[in-house]
């Protein structure tokens, strides 16, 4: 039979074979009735009647429990036909031992067994399907987990190298685990643990924490640094609109990104029209100098191709130096990977003193490449140059083994160039592989335009000097989103990404793959830029609109997690995913129809996952439990299994643990009622023991029924919650009380039968003795009810009841000498050992059946729970990864921008009267000294100070303030960039006042910080301005959120020309700020790029309350471009 079941023939004809097996077993059980009658004793007729009825009940239970493929209605039809056939044949064949009373009793018992079988079948089918669903969900969530991990890693690697990202995520996870372990020593349900807020770096430091924040800064030697600046950028930008200029830079920097990856370099940043990268950092490599030189040569060639494609006349000036750097992350918000050292500053100087179209290398780099390139030494003029180190220009390669090949990029038409947020779909699906040589301009990286001059390294004390400081992009910089460039869609990438998308897309079948078509519109959210979305038809030769990596992350993961977390998951309130399967038994939710549509589509994807991943098939048959006790090997899982009934589901279903308790209790009530009725029918004169037992048992059943009914009504909302009933139900659902109550309800029917035993009545009434055995066999099978009770306890009680029945039937408690001629039919007066052994065999078989069924049922329940537990674990990990990705994403791009990027592939927005602040630590270069730890400890101090500034952003009084970036020792922030918050503010200029208060708080922070410094005091200089600006997200492989506008330039100049320990503002800001603050005129002074300006210094804050300021005018926020 096992061989047959594993055969494909059985799988194709399972229902037919199952039904044939049922009728075959039924035929064998009814065969004795069809045989020719043979002379037998009267007592043998009674033995056959009782034994055949026992077999009949066993066949019914087996038909409901062990036959898998048949639907329930077919089994019910079979059971009714079989019971009818049995009673008819038994009535005519054993007519000497049948009476109308016995027939009525048998019919009632068969009905109760049918009800028990239907309940067992219903719960077993639900448990089996629920297990399948949970394991399928586990596989589906794992698939989502892989996609989430891929998207997270892509997002992380877009701002930092993998090694730095691993440290950051590991540090976050360890802090979160430590916080969770110390917060609660009681094991939590996995989903409940997932719902806890993820520990975000950093948290405000307390007295019991370490002095310093987590700091990841490594000193690396043998690192080559490349700085490249666009020569002719000013002239190129003079005759271009802002969106054309940004598009050209995106195209050019995209080429550089490709070359950076191709030549083994790590891009650090793009600052203004400057591009800088390193090689040999953070992963060391021996050919770092050659990588940077090849990168520089390739950039010069690439910009020549750019000139040919776009009709421009710009060139590159490249400087390279090799030395030691400190690489890592400074700050805790809006951070990025960066490098610091004096060698970085020297590499910047190599670029600024170079020539257009040449690669300018230092003497150290020159010595590493003597055997690979021909060099021209730079002549030294004057005594000052003679003191400097020698420098060289690359002439050409010595080895002519072929030039580095890279695809020739086709420049788009200027009319179609814009600040695109697009990404190569093939690169999206293969994050670990280099970007393919696509000729599509949207394959380029679109770097952010930084308003600082790129020629200064992060630690350069010249960051704010006049020599290296250029104007910020002026107020003419306004975003005009244009049509995204079409992207060739590769067939392989299409298939792979399409498959991933199918796992999450509510529309299955002809749904477009990720990256195809326009923005995905989330139900309930407005669609932005709808007029700018271009739909490409089939006549476009497979060309589709590309998507940004942000949109990929939000659509493929955020929407899916949100769909499972809010619309179709109640695992946080129940034992697992099971609580959403099937239809709710306690009412309909208005959103259920939408959930059911999603569920239908997700079920198809779940089946596909199960078919593709057969490695988890063992989960269906081998849960991690002990072989004998069936306890989980993991104590944590065992505690969770025992506590699964303590939660309350919002929408209980057949798979809900509490619903199984209700159903089992209802079956127990039915069996108790049948036991009372049949006992009164068979024993007309009940004894006092039976009556007393009935009183106690009836009271207990009524109490249990009332508690269950009261809980059901409370869950439906038809009854207000009552502490007494609720507390009683919660107490009864605990492990020990549930076992006590369950065993009592299981034993009541057979105890009612045993309480009617009396020797005298059995001597004088053979019908009572036969009925006694019939009831006992039927109620032994009742011990298969209440699957929540341990299987061995139920089976042990059934075995004890069977032994008691043997003792009763064997006459152990009665004197056989009192038998009369009338009572010869009674078992107590039969002397035949064969009859006793016949009854004993039936009792043993029934007991074995109870043991097997109970063990199988509990195995199924534990398997179902374990499947849900695995799914919840995977979902927990997915939630953690999602929150980590969100945490990192919101450190790159503000949260409100991310929300808008979910529905559009680009973001740019104008803001009226936004505040901008620059805060520079003007004397940090005096502290920085590489003689100790290579300057690492100096950067640790800077990290602490910037971290203290970042902590201010978490305070509610600065909720309108947003950190933009840190540039070396300069902190840049802005306010009024979140339109939603601005609309909620009590005053139209609340965000401006908050930014000034933030500047004052920064002064207080640096004062407190200086108290811990020995023999050194940091000096903070702050510049402020407000006005109209444009905010946007630029980049594909490197995402940058930045702001542009004349107000940004002004704020930068206020900082550069400011005074130490003061806050300087321009004159046009006074009408707004004077309502809350007092200022002192500094006078008119020349500002580079601004001519002469009247500037003012902040003196103090007035004592006015914000809500008392007259509401003069409502600030309107224009719609997005």
CB distance 330 to 348 below 8 Å: no
Q: Is residue 889 part of a domain?
A: no
Which pLDDT score, from 0 to 100, does residue 770 have?
79
Which residues have C-beta within 8 Å of that of residue 230, sequence separation ≥ 6? 236, 252, 273, 274, 303, 314, 315, 316
Q: Convert the pLDDT of each residue in 864-893 to its tens digit.
A: 788 778 777 877 877 787 777 777 777 778
Domain-located, residue 942 = yes
CA atoms within 13 A on the CB side of 1046: 10
Q: Is residue 707 part of a domain?
A: no
Structural domain harbouring 1041: 907-1108
Does the pTM surpass 0.85? The reply is no
360-387: pLDDT as tens digits: 999 999 999 988 999 999 887 655 555 5
Whether residue 678 contacts residue 671, with contact meaning beta carbons closer than 8 Å, is answered with: no
Quote the CA–CA distance of 795 and 848 in Å, as a whole number.
9
CB neighbours of 668 closer than 8 A, spacing ≥ 6?
Answer: 701, 745, 746, 748, 782, 785, 786
With 80 as the cut, is the pLDDT of residue 708 above it?
A: yes
User: Is the confidence at residue 416, as pLDDT, over 50?
Assistant: no
Say if 245 falls within a structural domain: yes
Q: What's the total number of domains in the chain?
A: 2
How sure is the predictor about 479, in pLDDT bands with cuts at 50, 70 and 90? very low
Count of all residues that appear for the chain in the document: 1121
Portion of the chain with pLDDT greater than 90, in percent: 24
Q: How far is residue 1040 from each of residues 122, 529, 812, measured CA to CA in Å?
A: 56, 20, 90
Contact 550, 1039 (CB under 8 A): yes
The CATH number of whichever domain residue 297 belongs to comes to 3.30.70.1230
Residue 1056 in this model has a pLDDT that exceeds 90: yes
Q: Which range, 271-285, 413-427, 520-534, 944-958, is most confident? A: 944-958
Query: Crossing angle, helix 42-65 and helix 833-892, to 10 degrees?
Result: 10
CA pair distance 499, 495, nearest whole angstrom: 6
Q: Tens digits of per-residue pLDDT, 602-648?
A: 677 777 777 666 555 555 556 778 888 888 888 888 888 887 766 66
Q: Tell me the residue ranges of DSSP E strands in 922-967.
A: 961-967
Task: Extract the tokens encoding 511.
Answer: 């749904």
More confident residue, 884 or 725: 884
> CA nearest 576: which of 238, 133, 229?
133
Domain boundary residue, one of 439, 455, 473: 473
Predicted confidence at residue 711, as pLDDT, reads 77
Whether 1 has a pLDDT exceeding 60, the answer reads no
Domain final residue pick, 456, 473, 490: 473
Q: Provide the pLDDT for residue 156.
A: 64
CA atoms of 904 and 518, how far apart (whole Å): 8
What is the maximal distance between C-alpha atoms in the chain? 141
| pLDDT value at 409 more than 90 | no
The DSSP call for residue 280 is: S
pLDDT grade, residue 817 (50/70/90)? low
Dig out the tokens for 693 from the structure: 């037992």
Cβ(544)–Cβ(515) under 8 Å?
A: yes
Domain assignment present for residue 95? The answer is: no
- Label residue 328 left, alpha or beta by phi (over 0 means left) and psi (-120 to 50 means alpha): left
Quick check: is 124 in a domain? Answer: no
**Whole-angstrom Cα distance, residue 463 to residue 473?**
17
Q: Per the domain annotation, does 1025 fall within a domain?
A: yes
Residues 6+ away with beta carbon under 8 Å from 575? 189, 640, 644, 647, 657, 865, 868
Give 897-931 pLDDT, tens digit per residue: 877 776 666 677 889 999 999 999 999 888 888 87
* Residue 756 within any structural domain of the chain: no
The residue from 473, 500, 531 where one domain ends is 473
Q: What values do phi and psi take at 1032, rounded to 5? A: -165, 165
Q: Are the C-beta atoms of residues 131 and 621 closer than 8 Å to each other?
A: no
């Amino acid at each position: 039979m096992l061989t047959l079941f594993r055969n494909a023939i059985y799988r194709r004809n399972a229902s037919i074979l199952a039904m044939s097996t049922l009728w075959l077993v039924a035929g064998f059980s009814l065969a004795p009735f069809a045989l020719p009658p043979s002379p037998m004793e009267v007592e043998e007729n009674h033995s056959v009647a009782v034994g055949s009825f026992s077999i009949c009940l066993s066949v019914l239970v087996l038909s409901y429990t062990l036959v898998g493929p048949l639907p329930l209605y077919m089994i019910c039809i079979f059971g009714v036909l079989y019971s009818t056939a049995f009673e008819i044949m038994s009535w005519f064949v054993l007519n000497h031992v049948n009476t109308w009373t016995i027939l009525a009793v048998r019919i009632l018992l068969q009905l109760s067994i049918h009800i028990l079988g239907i309940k067992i079948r219903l719960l077993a089918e639900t448990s089996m399907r629920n297990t399948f669903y949970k394991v399928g969900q586990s596989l589906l969530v794992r698939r989502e987990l892989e996609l989430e991990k891929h998207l997270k890693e892509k997002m992380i690697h877009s701002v930092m190298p993998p090694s730095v990202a691993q440290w950051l995520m590991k540090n976050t996870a360890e802090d979160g685990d430590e916080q969770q372990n110390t917060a609660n020593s009681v094991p939590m349900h996995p989903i409940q643990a997932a719902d806890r807020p993820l520990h975000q770096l950093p948290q405000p430091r307390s007295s019991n924490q370490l002095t310093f924040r987590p700091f990841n800064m490594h000193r690396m030697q043998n690192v080559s640094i490349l700085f490249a600046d666009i020569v002719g950028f000013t002239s190129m930008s003079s005759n271009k609109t802002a969106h054309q200029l940004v598009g050209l830079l995106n195209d050019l920097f995209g080429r550089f990104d490709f070359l950076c990856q191709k030549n083994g370099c790590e891009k650090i940043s793009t600052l203004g029209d400057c591009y800088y990268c390193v090689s040999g950092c953070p992963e060391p490599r021996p050919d770092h100098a050659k990588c940077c030189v090849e990168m520089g040569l390739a950039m010069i060639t690439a910009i020549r191709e750019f000139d040919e494609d776009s009709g421009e006349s710009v060139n590159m000036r490249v400087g390279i130096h090799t030395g030691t750097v400190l690489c890592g992350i400074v700050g805790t918000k809006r951070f990025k990977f960066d490098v610091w050292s004096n060698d970085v500053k020297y590499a910047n100087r190599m670029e600024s003193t170079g020539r257009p179209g040449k690669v300018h290398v230092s003497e150290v780099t020159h010595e590493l490449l003597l055997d690979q390139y021909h060099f021209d030494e730079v002549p030294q003029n004057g005594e000052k140059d003679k003191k400097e180190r020698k420098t060289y220009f690359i002439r050409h390669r010595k080895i002519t083994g072929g030039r580095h090949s890279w695809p020739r990029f086709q420049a788009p038409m200027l009319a179609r160039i814009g600040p695109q947020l697009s990404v190569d779909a093939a690169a999206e699906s293969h994050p670990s592989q280099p970007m393919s040589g696509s000729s599509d301009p949207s394959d380029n990286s679109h770097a952010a335009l930084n308003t600082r001059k790129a020629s200064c390294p992060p630690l350069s004390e010249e960051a704010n000097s006049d020599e290296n400081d250029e104007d910020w992009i002026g107020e003419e910089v306004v975003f005009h989103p244009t049509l995204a460039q079409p992207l060739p869609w590769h067939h392989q990438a299409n298939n792979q990404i399409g498959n991933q998308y199918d796992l999450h897309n509510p529309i299955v079948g002809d749904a477009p793959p990720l990256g195809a078509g326009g923005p995905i519109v989330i139900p309930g959210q407005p669609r932005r830029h709808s007029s700018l979305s271009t739909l490409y038809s089939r006549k476009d030769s497979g060309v589709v609109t590309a998507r940004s990596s942000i949109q990929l992350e939000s659509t493929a993961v955020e929407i899916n997690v949100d769909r499972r977390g809010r619309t179709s998951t109640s695992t946080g309130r129940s034992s697992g995913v099971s609580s959403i399967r099937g239809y709710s038994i306690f009412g309909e939710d208005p959103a259920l129809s939408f959930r059911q549509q999603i569920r239908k589509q997700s079920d198809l994807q779940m089946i596909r996952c199960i078919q593709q991943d057969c490695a988890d098939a063992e989960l269906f048959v081998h849960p991690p439990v002990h072989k004998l006790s069936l306890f989980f090997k993991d104590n944590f899982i065992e505690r969770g299994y025992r506590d699964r009934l303590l939660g309350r589901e919002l929408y209980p279903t057949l798979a809900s643990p509490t619903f199984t308790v209700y159903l089992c209790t209802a079956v127990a009530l039915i069996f108790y009622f049948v036991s009372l009725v049949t006992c009164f029918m068979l024993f007309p004169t009940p004894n006092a023991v039976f009556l007393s037992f009935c009183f106690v048992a009836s009271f207990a059943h009524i109490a249990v029924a009332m508690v269950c009914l009261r809980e059901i009504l409370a869950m439906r909302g038809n009854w207000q919650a009552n502490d007494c009933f609720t507390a009683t139900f919660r107490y009864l659902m605990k492990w020990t009380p549930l076992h006590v109550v369950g065993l009592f309800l299981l034993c009541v029917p057979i105890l009612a039968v045993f309480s009617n035993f009396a020797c005298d009545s059995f001597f004088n009434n053979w019908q009572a003795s036969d009925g006694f055995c019939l009831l006992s066999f039927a109620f032994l099978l009742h011990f298969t009810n209440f699957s929540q009770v341990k299987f061995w306890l139920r089976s042990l009680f059934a075995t004890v009841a069977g032994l008691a029945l043997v003792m009763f039937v064997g006459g152990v408690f009665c004197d056989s000498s009192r038998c009369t001629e009338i009572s010869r039919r009674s078992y107590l007066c039969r002397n035949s050992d064969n009859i006793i052994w016949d009854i004993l065999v039936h009792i043993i078989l029934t007991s074995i059946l109870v043991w097997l069924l109970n063990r199988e049922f509990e195995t199924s329940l534990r398997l179902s729970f374990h499947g849900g537990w695995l799914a919840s674990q995977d979902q927990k990990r997915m939630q953690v990864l999602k929150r980590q990705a969100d945490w990192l994403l919101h450190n790159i791009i503000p949260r409100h921008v991310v929300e808008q990027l979910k529905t559009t592939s680009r973001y740019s927005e104008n803001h009226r009267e936004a505040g901008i602040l620059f805060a520079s630590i003007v004397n940090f270069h005096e502290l920085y000294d590489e003689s100790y730890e290579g300057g690492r400890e100096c950067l640790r101090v800077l990290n602490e100070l910037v971290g203290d500034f970042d902590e201010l952003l978490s305070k509610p009084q600065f909720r309108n303030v947003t950190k933009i970036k840190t540039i070396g020792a300069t902190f840049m922030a802005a306010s009024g960039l979140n339109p939603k918050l601005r609309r909620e503010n009590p005053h139209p200029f609340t965000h401006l006042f908050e930014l000034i208060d933030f500047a004052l708080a920064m002064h207080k922070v640096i004062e407190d910080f200086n108290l811990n410094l020995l023999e050194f005091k940091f000096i903070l200089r702050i510049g402020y301005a407000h006005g109209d600006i444009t905010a946007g997200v630029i980049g594909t492989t490197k995402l940058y959120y930045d702001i542009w506008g004349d107000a940004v330039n002004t704020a930068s100049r206020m900082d550069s020309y400011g005074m130490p320990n003061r806050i300087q503002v321009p004159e046009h800001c006074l009408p707004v700020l004077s309502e809350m603050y007092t200022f002192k005129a500094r006078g008119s002074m020349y500002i580079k790029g601004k001519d002469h300006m009247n500037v003012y210094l902040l003196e103090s804050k007035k004592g006015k309350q914000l809500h008392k300021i007259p509401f003069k005018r409502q600030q309107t926020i224009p719609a997005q471009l």
